[in-house]
Amino acid sequence: MILGTDLAVLAVAVVTCLVVFVNLGGFNLPKILDDLLKPLAIPLILIWLVFNAGKRVMVWVGFLATGLFGYVVLHHPQLAGNEHALAPMMAGLFGVPIMLHVLTEREALGIPEQAATKFPLNVGVGLVGVVIGCISGFFAGLGSGSLVCFFGDHVAGDEEYLLMSSASEAANDLLAVLLVLTAGMARSGEAVMLGRVIHDPGVGGSLLVMAMVAISAAVGRYTALGFEKRYSDTLQVFSGRFWAVLVISIALWQVWLVGHPVIAFSLTGAGVCLSMYNRGHKLPLQVSFAGLALPLVIQGLGLAPGLDTLLFGT
């Protein structure tokens, strides 16, 4: 994971220099790329859906049901424009059901025995992850982790898959910061918060922020290496069920912040039931990402007004 993050930092540093150089010539490279890639968003999502679902009817049912759930959360009249609107979806599809599984586990949960990393790792796999992360940064709703699954069968073992996934996620997060600084494109929670604080920073301000991010990554790298053993020991002070209850509490607190408790908690409960249904039928984990991907397809095809009228009467 650290190697993947290192590769992402180095790659995005190169991209940052390229963006600044082109910007000095009067061109906004991120916006140019966004305009070029925007027509590919819907076809890419559809390819992603077909790739993950294949010919299994139950997978398609899961995709469509999860996508409809995501659409309701994103377009519900009471939640529209709410900065915490995604909380019912994130808590319902991911946070709460995963932790409920931990709570119902009969065996004691602890840190599994750690195997030594098999060296040398294939750096090329990490670079593929960086490219995936950067490309997915231009397609809101398609997480880089969900795109990595396209290449999951072409890597040698868990280490390489983790390397690719980590590089992809790190590159995606770092690029999101660069995009909001240089083009005002907020594609992540961190980028949205940064955009609220810094408006039109210019070339110098963008370079300063990205330099601070790189320094923070370096500090985090050495902190993670030095804290690894202590982190493992801290986790084992309390049982797995304690951490599960803590995560569920934090997730439900985020749902409470939505400000419409009946609607928010009802949607969260529906998401939990839907997630447990998908898991009970052993559907691919990528099914959950349909909660963001399918609403984008509906929006992109111009079907949102009609569906809003059908679902909400608006």
pLDDT value for 52: 66
Q: Please give the pLDDT value at position 106.
A: 64
Question: For residue 134, how many other CB atoms are within 10 A of its CB?
Answer: 21
pLDDT in the model for residue 166: 92
Three-state secondary-structure class, residue 171 = helix
Return the percent helix, strand and coil in the chain, to nearest 5: 75, 0, 25
**Tokens 């039928």 found at:** 281
Query: Residue 88: which pLDDT band, with cuts at 50, 70 and 90?
Result: very high
Tell whether the model's pLDDT for residue 61 goes beyond 90.
no
Cis peptide before 120 (omega within 30 of 0): yes
Name the band, by pLDDT with cuts 50, 70 and 90, for residue 119: low
**Residue 199 CB contacts under 8 Å (≥ 6 apart), including other chains:** none
Q: Rounded CA gap, 56 and 42, in Å?
A: 22
Give the pLDDT score at 281. 82
Q: How confident is the model at residue 273 (pLDDT cuts 50, 70, 90)?
A: very high
> pLDDT-based confidence at 188, cuts 50/70/90?
low
3-state secondary structure of 294: helix
What's the pLDDT band for 69 if we cut at 50, 70, 90? very high
Q: Among 3-12, 50-59, 165-174, 213-222, name the one with the lowest average pLDDT.
A: 50-59
Sign of CA dihedral 186, 188, 192, 194: negative
* Crossing angle between the packed helical segments 290-300 and 57-75, to the nearest 10 degrees: 70
Domain ranges of the chain: 2-312
